[in-house]
Amino acid sequence: MSRSSEETFGVRRLSEEWRDALQVHFATLSEEDRYLRFGSHCRSEVMHAYVAHIDFERSIVLGCFDTDAVLRGIAHLNPGPLEWELGLSVDPVCRGQGLGTRLIRRALKDARLAGAPRLMMHCLAENHALLRIVTSLGAQVVIRDGSAEGIILCASSRKEFSKDARQRASRGATAEAVKKTAP
Ligand X SMILES: CC(C)(COP(=O)(O)OP(=O)(O)OC[C@H]1O[C@@H](n2cnc3c(N)ncnc32)[C@H](O)[C@@H]1OP(=O)(O)O)[C@@H](O)C(=O)NCCC(=O)NCCS
Query: How far apart are alpha carbons 40 and 79 in whole angstroms?
Result: 22
Instruction: Report in angstroms how near the CB of residue 145 gets to ligand X at its nearest.
Output: 18
When asked if residue 74 is in the footprint of ligand X (CB under 6 A), the reply is no
Q: Which stretch binds ligand X (CB under 6 A): 53-61, 88-96, 109-117, 140-148?
A: 88-96
125 phi-psi bin (left φ>0, alpha ψ -120 to 50, beta other): alpha
User: At residue 147, what are phi and psi to the nearest 5 degrees?
Assistant: -150, -85
**Binding range to ligand X, per CB under 6 A, among 33-41, 47-55, 142-150, 162-170:** 33-41
Task: Write out the H or E segment, with its range, that includes residue 88.
Answer: strand 84-90
Contact 119, 139 (CB under 8 A): no
Among 95, 112, 168, 179, binds ligand X (CB under 6 A): 95
User: How far is it, in rounded angstroms, from Cα 150 to Cα 34?
Assistant: 16
Site residues for ligand X, 108-167, by CB under 6 A, read 121, 123, 127-130, 132-133, 136
Q: Does residue 87 belong to the site contacting ligand X (CB under 6 A)? A: yes
**Binding-site member from 63, 100, 138, 150 for ligand X (CB under 6 A):** 100
**Angle made by CA atoms 91, 161, 148, in degrees to the nearest 5:** 55
Give the interface segment with ligand X, choosing from 14-22, 90-98, 137-145, 168-176 (CB under 6 A).
90-98
H helices present in 11-156, as ranges: 19-27, 31-38, 44-52, 99-113, 128-136
Smallest distance from the beta carbon of 41 to ligand X, in angstroms? 13
- Does 37 sit near ligand X (CB under 6 A)? yes
Q: Which residues bind ligand X (CB under 6 A)?
A: 33, 36-37, 87-90, 95-101, 121, 123, 127-130, 132-133, 136
